[in-house]
Amino acid sequence: MKLERKEILKALETITIAGEGKNMVESGAVANVMTFGDEVVVDLVLTTPALHIKKRAEVDVMKAIHDHVYEKAKVKVNIKIESPEKPEIKGKAIPGIKNIVAVSSGKGGVGKSTVTANLAATLANMGFNVGVLDADIYGPSMPIMFDVENARPISVEVDGRSKMKPISAYGVEILSIGFFTKGDQAIIWRGPMASKALNQMIFDADWGELDFLLIDLPPGTGDIHLSIMQSLPITGAVVVSTPQAVALADAKKGVSMFMSESINVPVLGIVENMAYFTPAELPNNKYYIFGENGARNLAQDLDVPFLGEVPIVQSIREAGDYGRPAALQNDTVVSEVFEQVTRNIVEQVVKRNDTLPPTEAIKITTMAGCSATNKN
């Protein structure tokens, strides 16, 4: 006798899944039905691993087919157990911090920390309350970039608990593992130790009220990235790249990491650093040493915003070495570049942050535009 698939499905509709109140077909438990003459193979997907539920489902399927279709049918039941989907965990919020933006790069040496420091300084200059967490455990650079290498966070008591007070520089609150080690001391830690140190700097710190906390992530995609993404409610991520193909390939991996199901963090956009060289004496001349529009084209290919270009300018390098963010210098080319990139990031934060109250969104966009308005 040749069995028909639709008859098998009709028979399976007479079976109710325990605890669901729906028949087996309606609930989606029947993944597939195959017939070969008088043979039937039924694939089931159940959400409970209980042995008696599995056994009952198998017996019910065989009985339904024998009773309603063909009593001599040869029935095989394959059962797969899948855990029900859990609600997405976005991490533990930090009281007082409104937006957390991760700054990442797939590759080292593209100027991620330089961009982070200047974004923070620009945000502070616009009137925002800003903090920077230097999460680059093995290569902390924020203490140098803000000229606070010799500073040491003090302990303060908050609600009966002892917490670290971040170091303030140029209107930015800063915490870095570099504050707790000597400048020539290598940090040789395994992943769990690094993650534990980061958690202490995040949750055992008196950050106060911040509009933005920027996290300077280490290069690549690894342990620390996963730990931070899972422990904090990240508003969005900014990916920094240079124009050449080898850097863009790694930047693409960085974007892919944030978009993966396990992390699922919105990508606010890509910043192209070292986009072109501009001599100080010829500010209108642009020389595309590493290639032209590489990150812009990548952003278009990945369907993420392009946030802007940062040129190769001597003053940016000097400012980083001297510990004063270039965005605060008198170099109008550099300050205007970082201001535009920062405004683009703020706009993306407001656009993508559904939990932001309307009044807060208006405040943020107004503050982002205030410095540009004051110049006119």
The CATH number linked to 31 is: 3.30.300.130
Do 244 and 173 share a structural domain? yes
The verdict on 16 and 144 lying in the same domain is no
Considering the domain architecture, whether residues 135 and 62 belong to the same structural domain is answered as: no
The two structure tokens encoding residue 325? 């963010």
Same domain? For 132 and 33 the reply is: no
CA dist 141 and 134 (Å) reads 8
pLDDT at 67: 92
The answer to whether 108 is a known ligand-binding residue is yes
pLDDT at 376: 47
* One domain for residues 42 and 129: no
pLDDT, mean of residues 248-253: 85
Residues 157, 160, 166: CA angle, nearest 5 degrees: 30
pLDDT in tens, 57-85: 889 999 999 999 888 889 999 988 876 55
- Segment 271-319, tens digit of pLDDT: 999 988 988 788 788 899 888 888 889 889 888 999 999 988 888 888 8
Give the pLDDT confidence score for residue 175 in this predicted structure: 92
Please check whether residues 150 and 281 belong to one and the same domain.
Answer: yes
Higher pLDDT, 273 or 93: 273
Q: Domain of 352?
A: 97-375
252 is in an annotated binding site: no
pLDDT at position 318, please? 82
Looking at the fold, whether 185 and 268 belong to one and the same domain comes out as yes
pLDDT of residue 155: 85
Q: Are residues 118 and 76 part of one domain?
A: no
- Looking at the fold, whether 34 and 160 belong to one and the same domain comes out as no
- Mean pLDDT (the chain) is 82
Q: Tell me whether residue 162 is in a domain.
A: yes
Bigger pLDDT: 349 or 321?
349
Domain count, the chain: 2
Q: What is the mean pLDDT of residues 332-336?
A: 83
* 89 confidence band (pLDDT: 50, 70, 90): very low
Predicted confidence band at 183 (pLDDT cuts at 50, 70, 90)?
A: low
Q: Which of 145-149, 302-306, 328-332, 369-373 is predicted with the least confidence, judged by mean pLDDT?
A: 369-373
pLDDT of residue 221: 62
Residue 245 has pLDDT above 80, yes or no: yes
Asked whether residue 51 carries a pLDDT value surpassing 50, the answer given is: yes
Residue with tokens 């069995």: 3
89 domain-assigned: no
Q: What is the pTM of this model?
A: 0.70
Structural domain contains residue 92: no
Provide the pLDDT confidence category of residue 4 given band limits of 50, 70 and 90: confident
Within a domain: 91: no
Phi, psi of 332 (to 5 degrees): -65, -30
- pLDDT at residue 375 is higher than 60: no
**256 CB-contact burial (10 Å; exposed 0-12 / middle 13-18 / buried 19+):** middle
Is 105 annotated for ligand binding? no
Domain presence at residue 322: yes
Asked whether residue 252 carries a pLDDT value surpassing 60, the answer given is yes
**Predicted local confidence at residue 342, as pLDDT:** 94
pLDDT computed for residue 113 by the predictor: 92
- Long-range contact set of residues 152-161: C-beta below 8 Å, sequence gap at least 24: 152/179, 152/180, 153/179, 153/205, 156/206, 158/206
CB atoms within 10 A of CB 95: 8
Is residue 51 in some structural domain? yes
Residue 269 annotated in ligand binding: no
Among residues 81, 109, 141, the one where a domain terminates is: 81
CATH number of residue 132's parent domain: 3.40.50.300
Last residue of a domain, one of 22, 54, 81: 81
Q: Is 351 annotated as a binding residue?
A: no
139 is in an annotated binding site: no
Q: Does one domain contain both 67 and 104? A: no
Task: Say if residue 111 carries a ligand binding annotation.
Answer: yes
Q: What is the pLDDT of residues 99-113, one digit of tens each?
A: 999 998 877 788 899
**Bigger pLDDT: 351 vs 310:** 310
Does the residue 88 lie in any domain?
A: no
Can you read off the two tokens belonging to residue 300? 């278009």
Is 195 part of a structural domain of the chain?
A: yes
Let me know whether 274 and 349 are in one domain.
yes
What is the per-residue pLDDT for 316?
85
Pair of tokens at residue 336 = 């205007």
pLDDT in tens, 151-175: 888 888 888 888 899 999 999 999 9
Does the annotation list 171 as a binding residue? no
Q: Which is more confident, 324 or 123?
A: 123
- From 19, 54, 81, the end of a domain falls on 81
CA-CA distance, 191 to 237, in Å (whole number)? 22
Same domain, 20 and 116: no
Q: How confident is the model at residue 135 (pLDDT cuts 50, 70, 90)?
A: confident
